[in-house]
Chains A and B, each alone.
Chain A
Amino acid sequence: MKEIALELERRRAAAELGGGQERIDAQHQRGKLTARERLTVLLDADSFEEWDIFVEHRCTDFGMADKTVPGDGVVTGYGTINGRDVFVFSQDFTVLGGSLSEAHAGKICKVMDQAMKVGAPVIGLNDSGGARIQEGIDSLAGYAEIFQRNVMASGVIPQISIIMGPCAGGAVYSPAMTDFIFMVRDTSYMYVTGPEVVKTVTHESVTHEELGGAVTHSTRSGVADGSFDNDVETLIGVRRFVDFLPSNNREKVPRRDSGDSVERVEQSLDTLVPNNPNTPYDMKELILKIVDERDFFELQPDHAGNIVIGLARMGGGTIGVVANQPAVLAGCLDIQSSVKAARFVRFCDAFNIPIVTLVDVPGFLPGTKQEYGGIIKHGAKLLYAYAECTVPKVTVIVRKAYGGAYDVMASKHLRGDINFAWPSAEIAVMGPKGAVEIIFREDRDDEERISARTEDYRQKFANPFYAGHRGFIDDVILPRHTRTRICRSLRMLERKQLKNPWRKHGNIPL
């Protein structure tokens, strides 16, 4: 017994050293933490329960027989974040470059399977050179086992990927199927094929950072939902994010009551919308002023800035915010913003998170670039997502709600539960001037008549009352009362019951 205990201690110590002190130092030199250090930051103190430190790979080819390291390059188990269980796997770059073997994949699958049984999130910390080539197809089989589990877990438990080093080739597709991807600036990158292959195939010369760095994916591609300056800030950021999430699709997020009263009046919102309807303003000010404790976790802040998405709380419960941003591209819907918001709406719906939609949208962005890019199908994704979702939907039309975009943005017609409008709301098929130039085509060259008719049209539609007559909005509210009115609606909607007809699954225009 004593001998076994000593052996256990020895093995544990060996496992904890991973690839050895030299490689740990090298990892630190690169500005990166080790797999275990990362879990220290991510999880509550002393909460980590590690599994499978004795697992080793079984490959004997290419001299691998004597290259075994206990744990085989990934640290797995579970722990808590602010007291709530999460399952984790953290790839260890110091062990064979964090490469994925059959055994390594098996460890990951084990935590995923257990997470599904108990209904708790899985957080993957990716830092891996890719497939363990020496194992050949066994390694690829390992990836596929993970992919299949990612898909089965989708919509059942939240899955978060943190990219903290290389993640290339097939390895990218596991994070791609999780709900959220966060990246570390300057020390992480993701791509399907690396710069060397790109160079040979297309003769493009591009750096790792340009091709798949955190900045690339959080601004251009939209693959990443957020990026942070270093490992510690990233992991603390994810802790904060997890606080907003439910553990699975059957549980609610724990309420967090606060001293921030739902009756708080924000007088300054009365002047948020400028007098000139074409002057931009910052929609984020509205978001920060209506949510609990100014606490808004924005997702994809640097990508498709014309729509703002993220999680917050109102009246203690988590909500998803979707808001047009007039400060970027006038807040129009285009391919990128539609896709960005559509996926978020579906996430919220899958996990019973009510959606608050703030509308100031002049329409869809015109142009060949958009049409050739398939705006019809991409725009339809957002429409589909809103129409399909059954969670509580509260909508506030802040200023413009024009054309098809009005329908899309959680309108009454798409089963919006509560639809408010500010006095500055303009709900119409298009802007007054454009409308008049079509209706009164014959007067097009008569500036005076056009401007008189524009004024008529403005009188009729550039206010919330016409939509009010038809019951398309439930009430016109003063901007300062927005928080209170939304919070009351959300409280009333807590017991909302709505089911879509049975089907295998719908056919969203992918």
Chain B
Amino acid sequence: MFQKLLIANRGEIACRVIRTAQRLGICTVAVYSEADQDGLHVELADEAILIGASPVSESYLDIDRVLQACQSTGADAVHPGYGFLSENPRFVHALDQAGIRFVGPHAQAIKTMGDKIASKQLAASAGVSVIPGYDGVVNTAEEAIQRAHEIGYPVMLKASAGGGGKGLRIAEDDRECREGFRRTRSEAATSFGDDRILIEKCIREPRHIEIQVIGDTHGNCVYLGERECSIQRRHQKVIEEAPSPFLDGSMRRAMGEQALALAKAVDYHSAGTVEFIADGEGRFYFLEMNTRLQVEHAVTEMITGLDLVELMLRVAAGEKLPLTQDEVQISGWAIETRLYAEDPYRAFLPATGRLTCYMEPSVGPGVRVDSGVREGDEIGIYYDPMLAKLITHGRTRNDAIDAMCGALDQFCIEGVMTNLPLLAQVMAHPRFVRGQLSTHFLSEEYPDGFAVQPLDRAGQLQVAALAAVLNCYKRKPGPEPASGNPICRVVRIEDESFDTRCTVTGADYRVQVDGVRFVVATDSHRGQVQVAFTIDGNPFDAQVRSDGFRYRISHAGVESVVTVLRSEVDALYQLMPAKELPDRSHYLLAPMSGLLVSLSAKPGQKVRAGDELAVVEAMKMENSLKAERDAIISKVHAMEGQVLEQDEPIIEFEQKTQ
């Protein structure tokens, strides 16, 4: 086994690899950029070494610097994690030359699988089912149409060098096919400098299902079941599970065996993932092979009881796989949700800031948290916005979902916006619970962008009961509230009002909400944001924030704004006029915090709707801000190169006079 392992990564995956390595008695080295000097991975590792400035190109992506770090610390192996240098054959080559072991496949496997056409051809020759018609580059529009006829419409035209939904078009007939080919090709040439175009069948009701494989250098290779990763946004996975609710035994075996065939065809000797796309009728086709550890590997670990990082380290050190295919056992169901620092209500724009509060759910059997941050950390603009992964395991899929709902309610985060509400809402979504997934799930269920499903009556009654109790423990602080007369209050959740009576009895609260009785108990105290209650004996975790007048109670992804007032005061409150928010429609505001990389506006300038006015960069993504209507610029509030806060004004337009 290795003496010293350098982890060429950051965040949760670096922490996760460090933990396994330390359990195996291997010394660990973290690398970090300037922005990460207080990072959790730096603290956890036995040694840490600064490799450069905050931008990834000057640190985590810089092969020479990572190599130097290996040499100066005497590391004899490198685990690349995912992303960054994990699928870079040049990096593997450089390590090979320096005599340092790369914990991953050999360079040739990475190279072959990294090329869409080569991997496709190899897969086909290994007997893997590939999407019809996908057998090489199409050179002319006429050829595209001919192929489309062979494959059958609808077809997808895509740039060989494309990815992440860029350079991709769907054609339903010959006319669209001809037009699509031309446009995709010219786009491919300008965007990727590579105008090779592929054509393939367009899959209806697509589901993303992938097979985890692992091989050793002794010719052994096994598959560890599948994962379904159909819940995606911006072509990035958000929720994954294992097994897939879609697969039966024979389909699972068929996919597993094809994945193995492909792995063997490239002489694969590490952990890898063969991704398939399945259609509504159960046909499945090879997409690509990822020659690294996947973000979502944890769900496979939960159902197999294996530690994939440990297996990767063992096979990389030349050991034999400790199990055969027959010994692979799948038990129960696991779900993973990815917690991102992003705004789910604004097209998932990345969010930044200081994690002023970060409390993870309590872990235990069935609940695992893989995170790379802790309270007080700064979430910057330089890296992937994933903060943590929450993984739950249960006997059945429903058990795993219930555990996930409970755990998500225990996640308390302040200072940085996250997709927590989205995760909780999807978990409670009937279609998700039925297992009727598709990679279009989010866009189909939230066609106008994510919005929270309002509480139903039962949910409102519970929140009202909780609010009635909060109001009592405000009055009678301390762990042992004194018994007393019932306290009657009107609880108002948005426009609904509820009559409540709350009596403190020993350690419990007896609450009536519109005549419905609840017994509520808690050890939480006033001022605590993350509160743990039981309502009629069932755990009810929530976040409670108060501004002195109203409570904001978050549970199951829904934030309820609640007032608790004496009935006569509540009646008077109804007389108060609603205040309108100040009109900011004549401002161009920063949609998220980030760097203003370009600004093309001068006072007095006339702009047309759709003109690009500014570009804000955050988390490696450039966001173009366009004029929403024709207007005249009256004032420019920001400068190029400035770091903007969310909602900071960039440009002010002249207001139309009424």
Contacts and interface: CB of A to CB of B under 8 A. Distances in A.
A209 B477 CA distance: 41
A236 B475 CA distance: 14
Interface stretch (B204-212, B460-468, B575-583): B575-583
B527 A295 contact: yes
A40 B572 contact: yes
Contact of A292 (B377, B527, B565): B527
A295 B544 CA distance: 13
Contacts of A371: none
Contacts of B525: 258-260, 293
A41 B569 contact: yes
B527 A294 contact: yes
Nearest to B414: A285
Interface in B562-576: 565-566, 568-569, 572-573, 575-576
Contacts of A221: none
B47 interface: no
B544 to A, nearest CB: 11
A229 B581 CA distance: 11
Interface string B357-381: 1100000000000000011111000
Interface stretch (A65-73, A134-142, A267-275, A403-411): A267-275
B20 interface: no
A186 interface: yes
Interface in B514-554: 523-529, 548-549
B398 interface: no
A196 interface: no
A162 to B, nearest CB: 15
Nearest to A257: B478
B479 interface: yes
B484 to A, nearest CB: 13
B356 interface: yes
B376 A268 contact: yes
B578 to A, nearest CB: 9
Interface in A210-237: 229-233, 236-237
Interface in B335-389: 354-358, 374-378
B572 A259 contact: no
A229 B572 contact: no
Interface in A3-18: none
A373 interface: no
B654 interface: no
Interface string A259-288: 110000001111110010000010001000
Given A33-B575, A230-B576, A268-B356, A82 B549 contact: no
B579 A186 contact: yes
A281 B353 CA distance: 11
Contact of A31 (B37, B358, B378, B577): B577
A240 interface: yes
B290 to A, nearest CB: 35
B380 to A, nearest CB: 12
Interface residues of B, number: 35
Given A40-B568, A259-B477, A268 B576 contact: no
User: Looking at chain B's contact residues, is the secondary structure mostly helix, strand, loop, or mixed?
Assistant: loop
B630 interface: no
A37 interface: yes
Contacts of A237: 548-549
A391 B579 CA distance: 42
B445 interface: no
Nearest to A228: B549
Contact of A258 (B358, B375, B477, B572): B477
Interface in B241-297: none
Contact of B569 (A232, A270, A293): A232
B572 A268 contact: no
A82 B475 contact: yes
B38 interface: yes
A327 to B, nearest CB: 11
Nearest to A38: B572
Nearest to A234: B549
Contacts of A488: none
Interface in A27-61: 28, 31, 33, 37, 40-41, 45
Nearest to A268: B376
Contact of A259 (B38, B374, B478, B569): B478
Most buried by A among B355, B475, B575: B575
Nearest to A295: B527
Interface of A: 28, 31, 33, 37, 40-41, 45, 82, 185-186, 229-233, 236-237, 240, 256-260, 267-272, 275, 281, 285, 292-295, 297
17 contacts: A28-B575, A37-B572, A40-B568, A186-B579, A229-B579, A231-B576, A237-B549, A258-B526, A258-B527, A259-B524, A259-B526, A267-B376, A268-B357, A272-B376, A292-B527, A295-B526, A295-B527
Given A82-B475, A229-B576, A229-B579, 15 more contacts: A40-B568, A40-B569, A41-B569, A41-B572, A45-B568, A236-B565, A240-B548, A258-B525, A259-B479, A259-B523, A267-B374, A268-B375, A271-B376, A293-B526, A293-B528
Interface of B: 37-38, 354-358, 374-378, 475, 477-479, 523-529, 548-549, 565-566, 568-569, 572-573, 575-577, 579
Which 10 residue pairs across A and B have the least CB separation, nearest first? Answer: A293-B527, A259-B525, A268-B376, A271-B376, A268-B375, A230-B576, A31-B577, A294-B527, A258-B477, A232-B573
